[in-house]
Amino acid sequence: MGWIILVIIIFIIASSIRIVPQAKSYVIEFLGSYKVTWNNGLHFKIPLLERVANIVSRKELVADFPPQPVITKDNVTMQIDTVVYYTIFDAKLFTYGVENPIMALGNLTATTLRNIIGDLELDQTLTSRDLINNKMREIIDLATDAWGIKVNRIELKNIIPPKEIQQAMEKQMKAEREKRQTLLEAEAHKESVVSRAEGDKQAKILAAEAERDSQIALAKGKAESIRLVYEAEAEGIEMLKKANADDGVLTLKKLDALKAISDGRATKIFMPTELASAATGLGLTTEMLGIGNALGIDTSPKKIPKPQAPDDCCDDKDGVTAKVVKTSKNIEKDIEDRKDIDKK
């Protein structure tokens, strides 16, 4: 009999020793009244007089509430479900503050959500989640302080509008996408046309610049060739001067120049006075020596050139620059002189 009593005493003492784990709080009552809150560690309670009224977790907890019907400002009914993240900062208030704190938190969340959504239209509700979350957290956190609950954040999990609204939203989204596609295609076409026009413009500019450079190069080449020709002629004349060329050589050079001038393409020929006299004398000399007509003039009577009247626009009137090479009278006189020479 004694050993039974001993076992009972040992059991009662063992059950009175409690170890509270980390992130837990025990609410202790003494004879039905709140006595103390135990945190983590080893504790001993009085058997039969004290009891653990509630065990509270001090971790962050999550409450996922079912969808609640709400009506927007523009009379659209939708279903919204919320998720509340909270912690219990006072185990005594959580135990004695309200009956069934989680259900009270859910009801408070639903009523607050209806109040906030009732002031917003459908489009604002769909695009203002952060605003709704912050307002709900401020209101609910203030109301749950008396329950020992700290609301950390509230998130709108799902917003489910009616099917008709969903279909209208899908059509609107499709139209918006088609609009953006059309705008993008038009913008791409515009950029393509502008780029092509810019390319044509640049091509024409480059072609014009190339043509200009080509003309400049040709003009420079022509000017350089003319300059080299004149330099060569100047060097030839200088060499003749240095070589002490006599009057006969110079006269032959003048005749060569006269031959180049009278190539048959000109209707009138002008030459300096001294060159005309030299050509006349040289022609008579070559006829006397039997060399031939050096001037290439046909002495036949049938082909004697007719005298030409002086040209007011082209003939030199003051006799300084040039005169007519030969007139018809001079040619006839030359022919008569040549015949007298042949008879002798």
Q: How confident is the model at residue 294 (pLDDT cuts 50, 70, 90)?
A: very low
CA distance 151 to 85: 6
Q: What is the DSSP string of 244-280?
A: T--HHHHHHHHHHHHHHH-SSS-S--EE-HHHHHHHH
pLDDT of amino acid 320: 38
The predicted-structure confidence for 202-233, as pLDDT tens digits, reads as follows 889 988 988 888 899 888 888 888 888 888 87
Find residue 324's DSSP bridge partners: 270
CA distance 128 to 115: 15
The predicted-structure confidence for 225-279, as pLDDT tens digits, reads as follows 888 888 887 787 777 677 665 566 666 666 666 565 555 555 555 555 555 555 5
Q: How confident is the model at residue 17 (pLDDT cuts 50, 70, 90)?
A: confident
Are 50 and 72 spatial neighbours (Cβ–Cβ below 8 Å)? no
- Asked whether residue 314 carries a pLDDT value surpassing 90, the answer given is no
Are 119 and 73 spatial neighbours (Cβ–Cβ below 8 Å)? yes
- Asked whether residue 315 carries a pLDDT value surpassing 50, the answer given is no
- Asked whether residue 162 carries a pLDDT value surpassing 80, the answer given is yes
Which has more confidence, 330 or 59?
59
CA distance 38 to 21: 10
pLDDT of amino acid 244: 65
Q: How confident is the model at residue 334 (pLDDT cuts 50, 70, 90)?
A: low
163 CB-side CA count, 13 A: 0
User: Does the global pTM surpass 0.95?
Assistant: no
pLDDT of amino acid 123: 82
Tokens found for residue 24 = 């837990």
CA distance 283 to 277: 10
Across the range 23-43, mean pLDDT stands at 87
Across the range 64-80, mean pLDDT stands at 88
Q: How confident is the model at residue 54 (pLDDT cuts 50, 70, 90)?
A: confident
- Asked whether residue 25 carries a pLDDT value surpassing 70, the answer given is yes
Are 159 and 193 spatial neighbours (Cβ–Cβ below 8 Å)? no
pLDDT of amino acid 151: 92
pLDDT of amino acid 126: 83
Across the range 149-174, mean pLDDT stands at 85
User: Domain-by-domain residue ranges, the chain?
Assistant: 2-57, 61-161, 258-343
- Asked whether residue 318 carries a pLDDT value surpassing 50, the answer given is no
Q: What rounded mean pLDDT belongs to the chain?
A: 76
Which has more confidence, 283 or 121?
121
The predicted-structure confidence for 120-159, as pLDDT tens digits, reads as follows 888 888 888 888 899 999 999 898 988 999 999 999 888 8
pLDDT of amino acid 255: 61
Domain 61-161 annotated CATH 2.60.40.420 = no
67-100 burial code (b ≥16 CB/10 A, e <16): ebebebeeebebebbbebebebebbbbbbebbee
Helix (H) or strand (E) holding 299: none
17 CB-side CA count, 13 A: 6
Across the range 291-299, mean pLDDT stands at 45
Find residue 38's DSSP bridge partners: 26
Which whole-number Å values give the CA distances from 211 to 207, 221, 285, in the listed order? 6, 15, 57
pLDDT of amino acid 292: 46
Q: What is the DSSP string of 24-92?
A: EEEEEEETTEEEEEE-SEEEE--TTTEEEEEEEE-S-EEEEPPPEEEE-TTS-EEEEEEEEEEEES-HH
pLDDT of amino acid 86: 93
Instruction: Provide the 3-class DSSP secondary structure of residue 212.
Output: helix
Tokens found for residue 297 = 């003039």
